[in-house]
Amino acid sequence: MTTSHRENRKHFYQSIPDFWHDLYDMEYALLDIKMESRDTIASIREASRRVYTIYHKTAELLRELGDDTLIELGFPKESLAYIRFKSIPQECMIGRFDFVVREGEIKLLEFNSDTPTFIKELYHVNEKVCQYFECPDPNEGFEGLLAKELKRGLLSSWKSLQREGEAKIVFTSHADHEEDYQTTKYIQKLAGVPSEYVSLDKLQIRHNGLYTPNGERIDILYRQTYPVEHLVDDMDPLTEEYVGRELMQMVVDKKVAVLNPPSAFLLQSKGVQALIWGLHEEGSTFYTDEEHEWISRYFLPTYLDPEHFEERGITYVQKPAFGREGDTVKIFEATGKILLEDKKETYKQTLPVYQQFTPLPASSIITDDGQKDASLMLGSFIINGHPGAIGIRAGNAITDNESFFLPVGLQEK
């Protein structure tokens, strides 16, 4: 059974150009599908819209906070001028919520507002898998919405610079990382505007702006996958100058515009979840009664220390304010005993936040090696405030970079 499935999967995915169905020499995209009802899909999209409303409103408050408070929420000191800079009306062009969906409840784990991946999988590949399994695609039509909003974001960025002529638009990523490179190229193609791809290491910073290797000045830089928290520490090995910070200052000085905009990074810290929960818990009038109801329904209790959980005997998760792929995540019993932890500790120096533990639902998946049990985390995109494509990562109890992509189909009644 497994050999023929392996062959079928390989044959199917090789027909999709520029897609990484295997990653790190391991199976990534499953030739399997999880069927969801229209009601479930609708409630996930409604949750996305409401949760984004909360974040969007909180962004204004965040920009008014003092330096010390922003640093307490985990933001690097070097990023403060950047995150307070409101470049375009859109707070976040492409963001992704990670939800736990079980027993009719939807709970937010985190918001990947600045550099979310999983885009081509859900906006493009999911449809092909649905065709293979002869079922409707819950993401049908959303690729067009993404293309439209990308154009809108690029236009807003160009207007914000108040320059004459045609915009020089450059898309960038690490060229040697297949997933980052192909995701960025997919978005570039989808945007459908005259542009160029330049790998991160080839970009040139000069005193008056950012340039391509050919000496053309860049107006708009689209960096889908390179996180700002890495950018602040980026140093030129030859000059030992902090080139990343120079680039961030250029954005503030309107020498170049970037997408996602600076405000997307403002929403990325998991410390923001602790702030939202804290305001909710004290009944702050900053949120309306309806918004308080949404926070209560979708958000998990999140704090900057574990005291609340330890005192009440509640299992909790420690995660870095800026972290990805489950890296440096630990699950604790209230006694402080570690139940489960990710083996990587890349973000050990990052501010930790503490969130009430909620188990991921489990399901059986079909892999090249046969059936396996896996924990499911649901990703739901938000595109400039509009709910977008959804899909599932299937893997360990802590979702890491070895998780599978599990496509989603629409269950007919």
Task: Report how far residue 212's alpha carbon sits from residue 18's, in angstroms, rounded to the nearest whole number.
Answer: 24
Decide: residue 319, CB within 10 A, 0-12 exposed, 13-18 middle, 19+ buried: buried
At 185, the pLDDT band (50, 70, 90 cuts) reads very high
**In this structure, what is the dihedral angle of CA atoms 100, 106, 109, 113, given to the nearest 10 degrees?**
110
Decide: residue 264, CB within 10 A, 0-12 exposed, 13-18 middle, 19+ buried: buried
Using an 8 Å Cβ cutoff, are 20 and 28 in contact?
A: yes
Decide: residue 271, CB within 10 A, 0-12 exposed, 13-18 middle, 19+ buried: buried
Name which residue leads in pLDDT, 1 or 169: 169
| Residue 344 pLDDT > 80 | no
Mean pLDDT of 106-129: 97
All domains in the chain, ordered by first residue:
301-357 (3.30.1490)
Using an 8 Å Cβ cutoff, are 9 and 21 in contact?
A: yes
Q: What average pLDDT does the chain have?
A: 94
Strand partners, 96: 112, 381
| Residue 347 pLDDT > 60 | no
Q: What are the residue ranges of helices labelled H in 206-300?
A: 228-231, 243-252, 262-266, 271-281, 289-298
Give the global pTM. Answer: 0.95
| Residue 166 pLDDT > 90 | yes
At 400, the pLDDT band (50, 70, 90 cuts) reads low
| Residue 345 pLDDT > 80 | no
Using an 8 Å Cβ cutoff, are 320 and 352 in contact?
A: yes
Which position has the token pair 């550099």? 115
Residues 12-57 have pLDDT tens digits of 999 999 999 999 899 999 999 999 999 999 999 999 999 999 999 9
Number of helices (H) and strands (E), helices first, in the chain? Answer: 14, 21
For residue 54, count other CB atoms closer than 10 A to its CB. Answer: 22
Among 98-112, 113-127, 207-221, 329-343, which is the least confidently predicted range? 329-343
Would you call 34 helix, strand, or coil by DSSP?
strand
